[in-house]
């Protein structure tokens, strides 16, 4: 079949997306069960139409197009989702696959109609390699695919236009990255790290670094006494690049930016290593200098390299280890590496003398969101309007907040006036009130965690909260915040107590309400996910279960692979989870009055301090 250029270009992206869709459907059991209703949440900031085409392709190729009805949730420019068509189809059709944009809150009437809700994972290097081969007949390496994926996807697929090889696309992308790197650093615009809201521990580190660099410049401090390597991790959009540039401003230091993608585009392994050494030499010549290495997880971990590219990747890691080894040629160069996936980085890169300090940048809290909005709006806004905007943007990254501020400024600019409170209100996403019945369920759930955890000495409660209104990014309505002591050694009982506390919310629902909701599972980071991981660790790596076998597992993904590959392990994990759930239910039965008392107090006040919880439990 003959296709024009635009059709081929679209096919590459759709084909790459289809592998992720196929994987999600396989996890949901769509290829094994008939007439299931499945919700697929697409990756953040991706076009739903591309995934709709990808889903259609997968259903056709697997002969499932007649089994499943395909439906897509549409979102307006104001961020409101239209669920009417989905609701009608779910009522009328037995087999439905529903594509849901990332960050959209699923209404209860839709969630109960879905048998499975799965997160579609971003395109992986292996998927991109397969898509390039399938749609273009060109062979790409996993290393090249990993480098391509380090760029924004829209930019990458634009560079991979028909008639252009992968190497030519990489060269084009590198040129675009270099042009972006030539823009004036943020520090030149007047922002220092002390002016950036949020960042917590990272800001403290930066302010201490500025003082140390001044002492080093005067000759009163040896370079060996300075923290000269930082690994900065966190979700996309949390401002890691902005932070590094602001550190350079505060430290009155030069700023040099690089990435594996930029070095890779220079050519083969020798060119890669030469480009990397040139970057470090440039930073040394400009000392004191902040050298920022973006998307650092692209370097990889030597323990995970396989296949024909393993030797290449090992040489890359070894080259960067050599550059980071703390030798005199690095005097005056502070390296800040940024990543969204710290577990994907070779442990040797994080040892003393290299990137020995690791700080995780969290999504901004309520106060930080107010400060970020004020910073980007460039003007003071009424406190009540700012507070409402902060509540409505729970779960937003710094980049998303900056976009919201840009939208408000654009609205004011088009009206030829300064930003007003009405502009902020107009671009603020709507809050969805939580009805009393759903909120009562959430209050009972959190009270269950609190009572079971208190009974088992899980930690000290700092606060319990269940919100009255949900923001678009909220995955849950409430949580219990614990303060836990650090332990050098942990017994089997402590691990078991952790599981029981995590399942305390589900136990309270079952005992107090007589039914359970999906609030304990369904997403990464849920109670059930964390409990299953702890149970897997006990059974498979610590010898605290039904055997003494040992398996190496560093991440939650590793633990999931162990469960999927070993049916005996799955049975043991299930048995352990059920035993701890029963123990949690017994605690709730014995202390049902405490659970109901705390649930009622949270229902009334929305936020309950740890001191108030202790008073209620002692009364």
Kindly report the number of other CB atoms within 10 A of residue 224's CB atom.
10
| 56 burial type by CB count under 10 A (0-12 exposed, 13-18 middle, 19+ buried) | middle
Q: Give how far Cα 315 sits from Cα of 270, 309, 320, 341, Å.
A: 10, 10, 9, 21
3-state secondary structure labels for all residues of 292-307: EEECHHHHCCHHHCCH
Cis peptide bond N-terminal to 312, omega within 30 = no
Whole-number Å distance between alpha carbons of 494 and 499: 9
H or E element: which one contains 460? strand 460-466
Catalytic residue chosen out of the listed positions 116, 245, 295, 446: 446
Whole-number Å distance between alpha carbons of 303 and 298: 14
* Among the listed residues 452, 589, 597, the one whose alpha carbon sits nearest the alpha carbon of residue 514: 589
Q: What is the dihedral of CA 266, 268, 271, 276, to 10 degrees?
A: 80
66 in active site = no
Q: Please, are residues 444 and 595 in contact by the beta-carbon 8 Å criterion?
A: yes
Whole-number Å distance between alpha carbons of 197 and 375: 8
* Structure token digits, residue 584: 């949690």
* Structure token digits, residue 368: 């930080």
Q: Please, are residues 553 and 559 in contact by the beta-carbon 8 Å criterion?
A: yes
* Structure token digits, residue 405: 């501020």
Whole-number Å distance between alpha carbons of 303 and 313: 11
* Among the listed residues 239, 465, 242, the one whose alpha carbon sits nearest the alpha carbon of residue 362: 239
* Structure token digits, residue 345: 């980085």
Q: Which residues pair with 469 in a beta bridge?
A: 433
Whole-number Å distance between alpha carbons of 150 and 156: 9
Q: Give how far Cα 453 sits from Cα of 323, 505, 510, 574, 599, Å.
A: 47, 10, 17, 21, 15
Q: Please, are residues 242 and 372 in contact by the beta-carbon 8 Å criterion?
A: no
Whole-number Å distance between alpha carbons of 480 and 478: 7
State the catalytic residues: 446
């Amino acid at each position: 079949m003959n296709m024009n250029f635009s059709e081929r270009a679209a096919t590459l992206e759709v084909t790459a997306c289809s592998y992720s869709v196929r994987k999600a459907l396989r996890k949901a059991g769509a290829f094994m069960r008939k007439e299931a209703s499945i919700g697929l949440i697409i990756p953040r900031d991706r076009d739903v139409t591309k995934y709709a085409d990808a889903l259609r392709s997968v259903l056709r190729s697997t002969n499932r197009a007649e089994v499943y009805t395909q439906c897509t949730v549409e979102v307006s420019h104001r961020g409101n989702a239209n669920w009417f068509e989905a609701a009608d189809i779910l009522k009328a059709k037995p087999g439905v696959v529903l594509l849901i944009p990332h960050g959209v809150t699923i209404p209860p009437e839709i969630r109960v109609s879905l048998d499975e809700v799965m997160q579609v994972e971003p395109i992986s290097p292996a998927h991109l390699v397969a898509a390039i081969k399938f749609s273009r007949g060109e062979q790409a390496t996993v290393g090249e695919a990993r480098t391509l994926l380090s760029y924004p996807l829209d930019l990458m697929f634009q560079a991979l236009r028909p008639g252009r090889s992968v190497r030519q696309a990489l060269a084009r992308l590198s040129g675009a990255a270099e042009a972006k790197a030539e823009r004036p650093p943020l520090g030149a615009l007047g922002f220092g790290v002390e002016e950036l809201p949020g960042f917590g521990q990272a800001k403290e580190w930066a302010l201490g670094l500025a003082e140390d660099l001044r002492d080093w410049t005067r000759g009163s401090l040896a370079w060996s006494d300075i923290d000269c390597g930082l690994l900065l991790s966190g979700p996309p959009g949390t401002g890691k690049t902005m932070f590094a540039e602001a550190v350079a401003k505060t430290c009155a230091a030069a700023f040099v930016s690089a990435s594996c993608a930029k070095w890779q585009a220079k050519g083969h392994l020798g060119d890669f290593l030469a480009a990397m050494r040139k970057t470090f030499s440039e930073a040394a010549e400009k000392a004191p200098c902040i050298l920022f290495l973006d998307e650092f997880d692209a370097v990889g971990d030597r323990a995970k390299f396989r296949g024909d590219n393993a030797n290449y990747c090992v040489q890359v890691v070894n080259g960067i280890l050599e550059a980071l080894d703390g030798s005199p040629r690095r005097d005056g160069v502070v390296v800040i590496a940024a990543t969204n996936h710290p577990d994907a980085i070779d442990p040797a890169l994080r040892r003393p003398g290299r990137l020995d300090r690791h700080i995780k940048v969290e999504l901004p809290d309520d106060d930080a969101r107010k400060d970020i909005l004020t910073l980007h709006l460039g003007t003071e806004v009424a406190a009540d309007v700012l507070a409402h905007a902060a509540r409505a943007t729970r779960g937003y990254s710094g980049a998303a907040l900056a976009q919201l501020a840009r939208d408000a400024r654009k609205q004011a600019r088009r009206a030829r006036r300064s930003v007003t409170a009405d502009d902020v209100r107009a671009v603020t996403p709507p809050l969805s009130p939580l009805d009393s019945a759903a909120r009562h369920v959430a209050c009972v759930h959190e009270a269950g965690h609190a009572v079971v955890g208190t009974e088992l000495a899980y930690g000290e409660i700092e606060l319990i909260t269940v919100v009255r209104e949900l923001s678009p990014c909220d995955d849950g309505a409430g949580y219990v915040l614990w303060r836990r002591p650090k332990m050098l050694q942990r017994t089997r009982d402590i691990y078991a107590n952790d599981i029981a506390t995590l399942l305390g919310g589900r136990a309270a629902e079952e005992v107090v309400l007589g039914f359970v909701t999906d609030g304990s599972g369904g997403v990464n980071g849920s109670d059930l996910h964390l409990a299953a991981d702890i149970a897997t660790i006990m059974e498979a790596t610590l010898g605290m279960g039904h055997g003494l076998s040992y398996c190496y597992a560093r991440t939650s993904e590793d633990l999931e692979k162990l469960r999927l590959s070993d049916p005996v392990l799955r049975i043991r994990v299930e048995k352990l989870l059920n035993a701890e759930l029963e123990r949690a239910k017994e605690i709730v039965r014995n202390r049902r009055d405490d659970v109901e008392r705390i649930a009622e107090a949270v229902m009334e006040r929305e936020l309950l301090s740890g001191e108030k919880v202790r008073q209620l439990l002692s009364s």
